[in-house]
Structure 1
Amino acid sequence: MNRNSVSGGLFLVFSLLFIYFGTQIPPSSFKQAVIGPKVFPITIGILLALASAALMIKGIIEARQKPLEEKKNILREAEEEEEEAPQDIVRLGVILVMLLAYFVLFSPLGYVLSTALFIFCLSMYLDKKHWKRNLTYAVVFPLIVFLLFNEVLAVYLPTGPFS
């Protein structure tokens, strides 16, 4: 057992619960709806289940292939990481504050602007060296998702001041 197999197993259980609760969503009240409200949660749950199963299988294969000495090194590294926990707690706190700010700014600024700001701030906090890449992702990703939802799926996201 290693981190990948344990994480994969836990997320597999979570994804199965996610799929189950997705199936409990009532059907759409719109008679002409082509895609019902269950489709996206179930699809996300299935994709998460597949990724979790792959991670779990990868972890099991890695655990069987590593000799005993490497496992001892992993345990030593895990103990060293636990000593660095205060930094991780601070990092988690900063990320949670950014996420809270994203939720607060979502409606007033709209999807594109608030998501671009969130992605850029988060990626700059986690990796300051690649600011051009961070800026590109922060602009391109929200625009693609916005166009996909508004134009293809006819699910209208908040536009904020650009309405």
Structure 2
Amino acid sequence: MGIGCVFGPMVTVAMYRVEPTMAGAASGVLNALRQIGTVIGSAAVGAVLQNRLAASLRGEAAKRASDLPAGVRNPFLEGLRHAAESGQEAGVGQSGAMVHLPQGTPSGLAHRVQMAASTLEHGVVHAMRPTLALPIIVIAVGALACFLVRRRQVAGPHPATKSADLSASS
């Protein structure tokens, strides 16, 4: 909804002083730059998220698995590491990093392993905080740039208006 409320006025402001003969070219440049900005912005946010996920998941996994017995902790951490390296999905309901507990595992231990499996949920939350800082900073810089732009006074009427006035008077 926010993007829909921004694109209409943005195009209007960008195209306001463009001569009608240049409107097609100006519109094409505007749309090309908008598309390039979207791709670069999405790639930058994705790169920051991937970097932060890799860092936070390692620390979160070690923290959450610290109270597991060594016989379960090491395979659990190894399963998460293997899932991360191979690109598998891991977590509750996924096959990548789940530790397959042997039959007869005490329910308390099974519950602790299940709680340690929440590593991914907590890791994603921790990774999102710095990831969201990037678009917020870009928006703040863009807003500051908008406030610093000075409006130029046009000496006469709009060029399109002037040519329409000339054709109407003849």
Q: Which protein is richer in helix relative to its size? A: 1
Q: Which is bigger in relative contact order (C-alpha 8 A, separation at least 6)?
A: 2
TM-score (norm 1): 0.29
TM-score (norm 2): 0.28
